[in-house]
A and B are shown apart, each in its own frame.
Chain A
Amino acid sequence: MADPVLQIRSLDAFYGDFQALFSLDLEVASDGVIAIIGANGAGKSTLMRSISGMLQNRPDSILYQGEPIGGLRADQVAGKGIALVPEGRQLFPSLSVEENLIIGGRMRRPGPWSLAAIYDLFPILQERRHQASTSLSGGQQQMVAIGRALMANPSLLMFDEISLGLAPVIIRQIYEVLPKIIATGMSAIIVEQDISKALEVSSHVYCLQEGRVSLSGQSDTITREQISEAYFGARSDHGLA
């Protein structure tokens, strides 16, 4: 296996005095897709915030392409090619659909993604490009959020709870295009409550529980029983690799 694009080594993350992640280890292979699952409050969002730089940590606890980035600010991390589709979409309400996409690409990193490519992927956005981003349906807003992250031409793209609050038909559409997007040459981290979707698109899965990795393994060999144990902590002897 090639060098991993992202390596997390004994990451401890804090909100003030409250510790949210405990000595967490995680790896994303180059061009690999991992899924992160876990109950609410397990630390998934904290992990996203830590990697993206919204929460700063010990510099060498997060290595990106071999370089310590744990202590960088979010704008510096973004400049290195890590993009996030945030939970709840979080589009800029004062910006039109097209402006939301353009601002995602403001760092002008080279790569396959451009306005034209995004409109090709989600044609509805081209029709709506001058509208306020808040006037779109939830599913269309999610397309804008994905497009905005793609415009940065990231090497590592993180999706935080992209199916949350969307209709099943929309979720299915989004998960149909997801593999195509990732196949254009990037690694991805998918945080997901919907376990079957998470396993379907990933090659490796990590389950978090109370700020620790309670289970990790190949997505195609892991069993439902293992997951429900790791998810709810039914037994204390978790942690098979």
Chain B
Amino acid sequence: MDWLNAIVQGTLLGGLYALFAAGLSIIFGVMRLVNIAHGDLIVLAAYLGLTITMLLGIHPLVALLVLVPVMALIGYGLQRLILNRTLGEDILPPLLVTFGLSVIIQNALLEVYTADPQKLQAGALEIASLNIGGLAIGYLPLLMFVTAVIVIAGLQFIFYRTALGRAFRAVSDNQDIAQLMGLNRRHIFAVAMALSLAVVAIAAIFLGTRTSFDPAVGGGRLIFGFEAVIIGGLGNLWGTLAGGIILGVAQAIGAQLHPGWQILAGHIVFLAILAVRPRGLFPRMDG
């Protein structure tokens, strides 16, 4: 029963990792940009969420109504003003600039919010649970997982069923020819980053209600996100969800074996999959 419990809880946690990963996956897919600051942007969003809940006295989930558009705007501006200037043949400038951005965000958060751990208060939702055949399933983890599935399904819809998705894929395929279709790649990239940070906002609220956070935890979230993307296969959104679940389950089983092995078990499974399937479990089929 303990093992079954570990697998179920790990699966639900995997939803959170998939949310971390989805934003990374979007921008890597559209503009081949590896955003080193992604984890710190999640933490930034969590702090902004904290400020919004405190200022307006609202529930963290309600704060999403404000936080999602705010993060999307930040994403659009960040891409237009800074990141677009780094994109080109050379892949080093975007890595360096997002790394610098990561340092800047961490230090700005320290300056404004101090190093004290913070938490978003979700009230009764945090401890309420559903009892299914002896397994206690928390409402919050369940909500987290369902949200992840909805977000991935929504992104899948945007990418494959809408004009915006066509533009994303066209720009990703061939920037020069996409420009000939009247697509301004600078704008398309900025919209992709806005979408990425909108997902970051959702991930941040769940991160902040599930555990405490401080300005230094971004790096770890980035690693979990990366691992989920790579396990699932680059450019495959459902694969990213599967990657998140595999990572979550591996961590939960590791923790079941020994409390100190939680994080290690996730990394070991990641390395094992990378060794056997270097392109991930479900790589996108491209011609």
Contacts and interface: CB of A to CB of B under 8 A. Distances in A.
Interface stretch (A21-29, A78-86, A182-190, A229-237): A78-86
B137 interface: no
Nearest to A79: B182
Interface stretch (A63-71, A100-108, A199-207): A100-108
Interface residues of A, number: 27
A89 B184 CA distance: 20
Interface stretch (A9-17, A90-98, A173-181): A90-98
Nearest to A52: B180
Given A90-B174, A134-B287, A102 B182 contact: no
Interface in B146-186: 163, 166-167, 169-170, 172-174, 176-185
A78 B180 contact: yes
A40 interface: no
Main secondary structure of the interface of A (DSSP, over half): mixed
Contacts of B176: 54, 74
B179 A107 contact: no
B286 interface: yes
Given A54-B179, A73-B179, A83-B180, 6 more contacts: A75-B182, A75-B183, A78-B181, A92-B170, A99-B166, A103-B183
Contacts of A53: 179
A132 interface: yes
A19 interface: no
B180 A84 contact: yes
A52 B182 CA distance: 11
Given A74-B180, A75-B183, A78-B179, A94 B172 contact: yes
Interface of B: 163, 166-167, 169-170, 172-174, 176-185, 286-287
Contacts of B167: 103, 106
Nearest to A148: B181
A152 B173 contact: no
Nearest to B183: A75
B163 A106 contact: yes
A218 interface: no
A144 B179 CA distance: 17
B173 A95 contact: yes
Given A73-B184, A99-B166, A103-B166, A92 B179 contact: no
Contacts of A107: 181-182
B246 to A, nearest CB: 26
B169 A106 contact: no
* Closest 5 pairs between A and B when the two form their complex, measured CB to CB: A74-B179, A134-B287, A94-B169, A78-B182, A92-B173
B252 to A, nearest CB: 35
B177 A135 contact: no
Contact of B287 (A75, A135, A148): A135
Contacts of A99: 166
Contacts of A132: 287
Contacts of A84: 180
Nearest to B187: A75
Given A93-B286, A93-B287, A102 B166 contact: yes
